[in-house]
Protein backbone atom coordinates (compact mmCIF):
# COMPACT_ATOMS: atom_id res chain seq x y z
CA UNK A 1 0.00 0.00 0.00
CA UNK A 2 1.34 3.44 -0.93
CA UNK A 3 0.36 6.81 0.45
CA UNK A 4 -0.29 9.83 -1.81
CA UNK A 5 2.81 11.84 -2.68
CA UNK A 6 3.68 14.44 -0.06
CA UNK A 7 3.81 18.16 -0.80
CA UNK A 8 7.02 19.20 -2.53
CA UNK A 9 9.76 20.40 -0.17
CA UNK A 10 11.70 23.44 -1.39
CA UNK A 11 15.32 23.38 -0.30
CA UNK A 12 17.42 26.50 0.51
CA UNK A 13 19.90 25.97 -2.35
CA UNK A 14 17.05 26.12 -4.87
CA UNK A 15 15.78 29.43 -3.47
CA UNK A 16 19.32 30.84 -3.62
CA UNK A 17 19.78 29.74 -7.22
CA UNK A 18 16.48 31.28 -8.34
CA UNK A 19 17.42 34.50 -6.51
CA UNK A 20 20.74 34.64 -8.35
CA UNK A 21 19.03 34.00 -11.69
CA UNK A 22 16.59 36.83 -11.05
CA UNK A 23 19.50 39.27 -10.67
CA UNK A 24 22.06 38.29 -13.31
CA UNK A 25 20.07 38.11 -16.61
CA UNK A 26 20.67 41.80 -17.27
CA UNK A 27 24.39 41.02 -17.59
CA UNK A 28 23.95 38.15 -20.03
CA UNK A 29 24.10 38.63 -23.79
CA UNK A 30 23.18 36.69 -26.91
CA UNK A 31 26.75 35.54 -27.68
CA UNK A 32 27.13 34.20 -24.15
CA UNK A 33 23.94 32.15 -24.38
CA UNK A 34 24.89 30.63 -27.76
CA UNK A 35 27.83 28.85 -26.13
CA UNK A 36 25.36 26.73 -24.11
CA UNK A 37 22.73 25.93 -26.76
CA UNK A 38 22.09 22.42 -28.07
CA UNK A 39 22.90 18.94 -26.80
CA UNK A 40 25.51 18.03 -24.23
CA UNK A 41 26.37 14.82 -22.39
CA UNK A 42 28.09 14.31 -19.06
CA UNK A 43 29.80 11.63 -17.01
CA UNK A 44 30.65 12.13 -13.35
CA UNK A 45 30.80 11.06 -9.73
CA UNK A 46 27.97 11.23 -7.18
CA UNK A 47 28.11 11.51 -3.38
CA UNK A 48 24.79 10.66 -1.68
CA UNK A 49 23.57 11.45 1.83
CA UNK A 50 20.95 8.74 2.37
CA UNK A 51 18.54 8.73 5.32
CA UNK A 52 15.54 6.46 6.01
CA UNK A 53 13.17 6.82 8.95
CA UNK A 54 11.84 3.32 9.78
CA UNK A 55 8.90 3.17 12.20
CA UNK A 56 7.45 0.00 13.73
CA UNK A 57 4.25 -0.28 15.79
CA UNK A 58 4.71 0.26 19.55
CA UNK A 59 7.33 3.06 19.45
CA UNK A 60 10.10 0.98 17.84
CA UNK A 61 12.20 2.91 15.32
CA UNK A 62 15.38 2.79 13.28
CA UNK A 63 17.12 5.65 11.46
CA UNK A 64 19.75 4.43 8.98
CA UNK A 65 21.75 7.41 7.76
CA UNK A 66 25.13 7.55 6.03
CA UNK A 67 26.84 8.17 2.71
CA UNK A 68 27.10 6.29 -0.58
CA UNK A 69 29.01 7.05 -3.75
CA UNK A 70 28.38 6.30 -7.39
CA UNK A 71 28.64 7.36 -11.02
CA UNK A 72 26.11 9.01 -13.31
CA UNK A 73 25.58 9.62 -17.02
CA UNK A 74 23.28 12.28 -18.45
CA UNK A 75 22.08 13.75 -21.73
CA UNK A 76 20.77 17.32 -21.86
CA UNK A 77 19.32 19.77 -24.36
CA UNK A 78 19.31 23.55 -23.79
CA UNK A 79 17.43 26.13 -25.89
CA UNK A 80 17.47 29.95 -25.67
CA UNK A 81 14.65 31.64 -23.78
CA UNK A 82 14.77 35.15 -25.23
CA UNK A 83 18.23 36.72 -25.09
CA UNK A 84 18.90 36.38 -21.40
CA UNK A 85 18.22 32.80 -20.33
CA UNK A 86 17.94 29.18 -21.44
CA UNK A 87 15.45 26.41 -20.81
CA UNK A 88 16.20 22.72 -21.13
CA UNK A 89 15.59 19.12 -20.21
CA UNK A 90 17.90 16.41 -18.88
CA UNK A 91 17.78 12.62 -18.63
CA UNK A 92 20.14 11.08 -16.07
CA UNK A 93 20.89 7.52 -14.99
CA UNK A 94 23.06 6.66 -12.01
CA UNK A 95 24.53 3.61 -10.32
CA UNK A 96 25.62 3.62 -6.68
CA UNK A 97 27.38 1.34 -4.22
CA UNK A 98 27.20 0.98 -0.45
CA UNK A 99 24.41 0.90 2.14
CA UNK A 100 23.45 2.78 5.30
CA UNK A 101 22.86 0.90 8.57
CA UNK A 102 21.24 1.28 11.98
CA UNK A 103 19.77 -0.86 14.76
CA UNK A 104 16.08 -0.88 15.73
CA UNK A 105 15.36 0.46 19.24
CA UNK A 106 12.35 0.87 21.52
CA UNK A 107 11.24 4.38 22.49
CA UNK A 108 14.74 5.83 22.03
CA UNK A 109 16.48 3.16 24.14
CA UNK A 110 19.34 1.33 22.43
CA UNK A 111 17.76 -2.13 22.65
CA UNK A 112 19.21 -4.35 19.97
CA UNK A 113 16.03 -5.67 18.31
CA UNK A 114 17.11 -5.74 14.67
CA UNK A 115 19.69 -4.43 12.22
CA UNK A 116 18.63 -2.50 9.12
CA UNK A 117 20.55 -1.84 5.90
CA UNK A 118 19.22 0.49 3.20
CA UNK A 119 20.90 0.85 -0.17
CA UNK A 120 20.22 3.23 -3.05
CA UNK A 121 21.28 0.98 -5.92
CA UNK A 122 20.43 3.05 -9.01
CA UNK A 123 18.11 5.76 -10.24
CA UNK A 124 16.69 7.44 -13.34
CA UNK A 125 15.92 11.16 -13.37
CA UNK A 126 14.03 13.41 -15.78
CA UNK A 127 14.34 17.13 -15.08
CA UNK A 128 13.34 20.45 -16.58
CA UNK A 129 15.82 23.32 -16.15
CA UNK A 130 16.00 27.11 -16.22
CA UNK A 131 19.48 28.57 -16.67
CA UNK A 132 21.25 31.91 -16.93
CA UNK A 133 24.67 32.54 -18.48
CA UNK A 134 25.99 34.79 -15.74
CA UNK A 135 29.39 35.21 -17.47
CA UNK A 136 30.74 34.19 -20.90
CA UNK A 137 31.98 30.86 -19.50
CA UNK A 138 29.69 30.35 -16.49
CA UNK A 139 26.16 28.96 -16.39
CA UNK A 140 23.88 28.92 -13.34
CA UNK A 141 20.82 26.68 -13.32
CA UNK A 142 17.98 25.30 -11.22
CA UNK A 143 15.77 22.35 -12.05
CA UNK A 144 12.77 20.36 -10.93
CA UNK A 145 11.74 16.87 -11.99
CA UNK A 146 10.96 13.31 -11.02
CA UNK A 147 13.31 10.48 -10.06
CA UNK A 148 12.70 6.72 -9.91
CA UNK A 149 15.02 5.21 -7.29
CA UNK A 150 15.78 1.50 -6.80
CA UNK A 151 16.13 0.70 -3.08
CA UNK A 152 17.27 -2.48 -1.32
CA UNK A 153 16.09 -3.03 2.27
CA UNK A 154 17.53 -5.70 4.60
CA UNK A 155 16.27 -6.46 8.12
CA UNK A 156 18.18 -8.86 10.41
CA UNK A 157 15.95 -9.80 13.37
CA UNK A 158 18.00 -10.49 16.51
CA UNK A 159 15.49 -12.65 18.43
CA UNK A 160 14.80 -15.16 15.64
CA UNK A 161 17.92 -14.81 13.52
CA UNK A 162 15.71 -14.34 10.46
CA UNK A 163 16.73 -12.06 7.60
CA UNK A 164 14.20 -10.23 5.44
CA UNK A 165 15.19 -8.65 2.13
CA UNK A 166 13.03 -6.50 -0.09
CA UNK A 167 13.72 -4.39 -3.19
CA UNK A 168 11.47 -1.59 -4.37
CA UNK A 169 11.41 1.16 -7.00
CA UNK A 170 10.08 4.41 -5.56
CA UNK A 171 9.19 7.67 -7.28
CA UNK A 172 10.08 11.05 -5.82
CA UNK A 173 10.33 14.75 -6.55
CA UNK A 174 13.82 16.11 -7.17
CA UNK A 175 15.06 19.70 -6.92
CA UNK A 176 18.54 20.70 -8.08
CA UNK A 177 20.81 23.72 -8.44
CA UNK A 178 24.23 23.90 -10.03
CA UNK A 179 26.98 25.73 -11.87
CA UNK A 180 28.66 24.89 -15.18
CA UNK A 181 32.08 26.25 -16.16
CA UNK A 182 33.50 26.04 -19.70
CA UNK A 183 37.06 24.67 -19.70
CA UNK A 184 37.62 24.29 -23.47
CA UNK A 185 35.76 24.73 -26.77
CA UNK A 186 33.70 21.57 -26.28
CA UNK A 187 34.09 20.71 -22.58
CA UNK A 188 32.69 22.05 -19.32
CA UNK A 189 32.87 21.14 -15.64
CA UNK A 190 29.63 20.94 -13.65
CA UNK A 191 28.94 20.94 -9.89
CA UNK A 192 25.41 20.24 -8.68
CA UNK A 193 23.50 19.67 -5.44
CA UNK A 194 20.05 18.05 -5.37
CA UNK A 195 17.38 16.84 -2.97
CA UNK A 196 15.07 13.90 -3.70
CA UNK A 197 11.92 13.68 -1.58
CA UNK A 198 10.10 10.31 -1.60
CA UNK A 199 6.71 9.63 -0.03
CA UNK A 200 6.43 7.39 3.03
CA UNK A 201 5.83 3.70 2.32
CA UNK A 202 3.94 1.07 4.35
CA UNK A 203 5.28 -2.49 4.07
CA UNK A 204 3.08 -5.27 5.45
CA UNK A 205 3.77 -8.60 7.19
CA UNK A 206 5.74 -10.99 5.02
CA UNK A 207 7.94 -8.31 3.54
CA UNK A 208 9.48 -7.77 7.00
CA UNK A 209 8.86 -9.37 10.41
CA UNK A 210 6.19 -6.76 11.29
CA UNK A 211 4.49 -3.94 9.37
CA UNK A 212 6.85 -0.96 9.08
CA UNK A 213 6.73 2.55 7.66
CA UNK A 214 9.83 3.58 5.69
CA UNK A 215 10.45 7.21 4.72
CA UNK A 216 13.55 7.58 2.48
CA UNK A 217 15.31 10.88 1.80
CA UNK A 218 18.32 11.57 -0.45
CA UNK A 219 20.61 14.58 -0.86
CA UNK A 220 23.29 14.37 -3.53
CA UNK A 221 26.39 16.28 -4.61
CA UNK A 222 27.59 15.63 -8.16
CA UNK A 223 30.68 16.57 -10.15
CA UNK A 224 30.77 15.84 -13.89
CA UNK A 225 32.67 16.57 -17.08
CA UNK A 226 30.41 17.47 -20.01
CA UNK A 227 30.88 17.40 -23.77
CA UNK A 228 28.96 19.95 -25.87
CA UNK A 229 28.02 18.73 -29.36
Tens digit of each residue's pLDDT (9 = 90 or more) over 149-191: 999 999 998 888 899 999 999 999 999 999 999 999 899 999 9
Domain spanning 12-228, CATH architecture: Beta Barrel (2.40)
What's the full length of the chain, in residues? 229
The model's confidence at residue 223, banded by pLDDT at 50, 70 and 90, is very high
Give a three-class secondary structure readout of 30-41. Answer: HHHHHCCCEEEE
Counting residues of the chain whose pLDDT is more than 90, the rounded percentage is 58
CB 188 within 8 A of CB 229: no
Cα 15 to Cα 174: distance, rounded to the nearest angstrom:
14
Report yes or no: 97 and 120 within 8 Å, Cβ to Cβ: no
Please state the pTM of the whole predicted model: 0.81
How far does CA 72 lie from the centroid of its chain? 11
Domain coordinates of the chain in residue numbers? 12-228
Q: pLDDT band at residue 213, thresholds of 50, 70 and 90?
A: very high
Alpha helices in the chain (DSSP H): 12-23, 30-34
Tens digits of per-residue pLDDT, 69-111? 999 999 999 999 877 799 999 999 999 988 888 887 766 566 6
pLDDT of residue 109: 60
Q: What is the mean pLDDT of residues 42-68?
A: 90
Chain-wide mean pLDDT for the chain?
85
How many C-alpha atoms does 91 have within 13 Å on its Cβ side?
Answer: 2
Amino acid sequence: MRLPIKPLKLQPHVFICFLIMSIVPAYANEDTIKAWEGFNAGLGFSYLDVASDIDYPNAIASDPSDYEDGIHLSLEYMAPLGHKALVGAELMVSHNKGAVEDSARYNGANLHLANWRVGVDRSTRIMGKLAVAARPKTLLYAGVGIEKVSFSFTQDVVSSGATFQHADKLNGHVLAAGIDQIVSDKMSLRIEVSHTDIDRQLYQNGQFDTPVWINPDIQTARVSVRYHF
